[in-house]
Chain A
Amino acid sequence: MKRRVFSIVLAGVICVLPLFCNPYWTDVCVSVGLFALLSLSLNVMLGQAGIFNMGHAAFFAVGAYAAAILNTVCQWPIFLTMIPAGIAAGVFALAVARPIIHLRGDYLLVVTIGIVEIVRIALINDVFGLTGGANGIFNISRPSLFGVKIYKGWQFYYLVWGVTAVSMLLFYGLWRSRFGRALNCIKEDDIAAEGCGINVVGYKLAAFSLGAFWAGMAGAIYASKMVTIAPESFNFSESVLLFAAVILSGGSQLGVLCSVFLFFGLPEVLREFSDARMLIFGLAMMAMMIWRPQGLLPPLPRRYRVAAAAGDGKK
């Protein structure tokens, strides 16, 4: 109940926030929104299925570059590139995850770090002659919706948070579905899940590609927001931050939003604190695992309506 009140207040604050912000703070809120979208997409694999992916920036990068290339070379409008960007990231994720998905958590973590580094090095070295090398891609166009060009801070704010809100609804539906239950089961104990007849590899791959798909779409929005993208924006420490945020959140969407504010919003508010923020988050990760391993706000247990008629077997 407390949580519901908190969520409604939070949603209200997010809705009216740009009215009270100057352009600088609106801009900060836009990037917090993008990180929220990314963390929510990472939450599908890391929070829900327990897939230790520390290379989320790689999928974000693939999406951003796919959108940027479609936009600058083929002149596609940004909104049209969002789906192909997501598909590019998802397919890339599927291709790289297929051979490694069976690895145990800590090994998977190391391999995904390797992937994000390889992607970054490949982008810097201008692999297909399309990525522009170390300088990146310039002149990505702004999105336009119903003939209105989106370029002001508050317009981006509502675009990003609107997409985030829709994603949260969809992810909530996913969590409640058979798919979500299967992922949670895999997270708790993948051998038991296998024993229950859950196709562990299949579900893990699906969660991985889905999360990457969403990260790719976030990449398209990011590209149009920044107008310029470069390999250095998708480095490994970005992935570490996202990973830490999702781990500390505990896996509920509300928790993810809270930790995104803690990780990406608070350092902007407390400038003097921003140098030490990673130090504190590192300590928090250790302390959290010792005293509160379930995270900040773990998802509440699922509730099922039990049919009034006994013995009807419907759950």
Chain B
Amino acid sequence: MEQFFQQLFNGLAVGGIYALVALGYTMVYGVLKLINFAHGDLFTIGSYLGLTMLVSWNLSGLLPPFLGMLVVFVMVSLFVALIGWALERAAYRPLRNASRLSAVVSALGASIFFENAIMLVYGARVYVYPDFLRPDFVLNIFGVAIPAMRIIVITVTVALMFGLWGFIQRTKMGAAIRAVALDQGAARLMGINVDRVISLVFLIGPALGGAAGLLIGVYYGQIDFTMGWNYGLKAFTAAILGGIGNIPGAMLGGFLLGVTEAFAAAYIAVAWKDAVAFLALILILIIRPTGILGERTADKL
């Protein structure tokens, strides 16, 4: 039972990070019907930028630890958001009216570009996050020992998701995003500046992705330049699992995938952990391509 709860919380923490990345996929898919393959690499950029700020700029040393972490968190999100915005301007906007697959190829190109840019800047080695960032105390909840880091990651991800949810549902800009996702043409007729909404989506998604990158660095303590593909694919799986284009779906999918993976690693075999996620992806696309919360649409996948 101890192991069960351990794995559950581990899965929820990793799943929360998947969910943050999945939100970027799902929002972009919602407005552009494009799988932004470069999103996983924006996530990687987030974790590398976070490392640079923490270690080289020593931000967490100059400021009190909590405040320092917060500043790093905000700055990483801002930087990655700017990169995401630039990516949309350079690689996707010129292809807005081209065939969908052209945009997909462009996204793949962007992903390859980012991955190798990170490699050229930082080198191909694995980087380690300073471990003083990880609080090492363990919380005791109903007799189950849970590392505090897991609780922190879960709290941060859930808070960010609620923030996003509130923004999408309660504000005017959020309503505009929902409108563009429903029907671009009609939204334009209602006086919504569609280009601005798309830019906004490419600011929010990468900001969340960058934040997730920082979290994964702090949580696992180890990053490398190719991890974007792996986490990106898993987050994409999460987005599909919940129903792509659907924001609560991405959150649900992320947590579900994280927990499934953690249990698979614990009860089946660690070596097959990654295969489980990919198998899940294939099975969902075959059995229920619209995901758990997605509605049936006429558009064939």
Contact = CB atoms under 8 A, between A and B. Distances in A.
Interface of A: 50, 52, 99-100, 102-107, 109-111, 113-115, 117-118, 121-122, 124-125, 236-237, 240, 243-244, 247, 275-276, 278-279, 281-286, 288-290, 293
B271 A290 contact: no
Contact of A118 (B105, B112, B116, B279): B279
B300 A284 contact: no
15 contacts: A100-B282, A104-B300, A105-B100, A107-B285, A110-B233, A114-B233, A121-B274, A244-B112, A276-B116, A276-B120, A282-B111, A282-B114, A286-B106, A290-B106, A293-B102
A236 B99 CA distance: 26
B50 to A, nearest CB: 22
A110 B117 CA distance: 23
Interface string B269-301: 101101100110110011001000000000011
Contacts of A124: 271
B95 interface: yes
Given A121-B272, A289-B106, A107 B113 contact: no
Nearest to A277: B116
A281 B114 CA distance: 11
A295 B281 CA distance: 31
Interface string B218-239: 0000000010010001001000
Contact of B105 (A236, A247, A278): A247
Contacts of A125: 269, 271-272
B35 interface: yes
Contacts of B274: 117, 121
A110 B111 CA distance: 14
Among A104, A115, A118, A286, the one with the most B-chain Cβ atoms within 10 Å of its Cβ is A286
B103 A107 contact: no
Among A103, A106, A243, A247, the one with the most B-chain Cβ atoms within 10 Å of its Cβ is A106
Interface of B: 34-35, 90-91, 94-95, 98-106, 108-117, 119-120, 226, 229, 233, 236, 269, 271-272, 274-275, 278-279, 281-282, 285-286, 289, 300-301
Contact of A103 (B99, B272, B301): B301
B100 A106 contact: yes
A66 B99 CA distance: 39
Contacts of A281: 109, 112
Contact of A109 (B98, B104, B116, B269): B104
Contacts of B101: 50, 52, 105-106
A307 to B, nearest CB: 36
Nearest to B226: A237
Given A105-B100, A111-B281, A121-B275, A278 B116 contact: yes
A104 B278 contact: no
A114 B114 CA distance: 21
A286 B116 contact: no
A244 B271 CA distance: 30
Given A103-B301, A115-B282, A125-B271, A275 B105 contact: no
A290 to B, nearest CB: 5
Contacts of A114: 233, 278-279, 281-282
B100 A111 contact: no
Contact of B35 (A100, A110, A278): A110
B272 to A, nearest CB: 7
Contacts of B275: 117-118, 121-122
B84 to A, nearest CB: 15
Given A110-B281, A118-B278, 15 more contacts: A52-B101, A102-B300, A107-B285, A110-B285, A111-B282, A118-B275, A118-B279, A122-B275, A236-B229, A243-B108, A279-B120, A282-B109, A285-B105, A285-B108, A286-B91
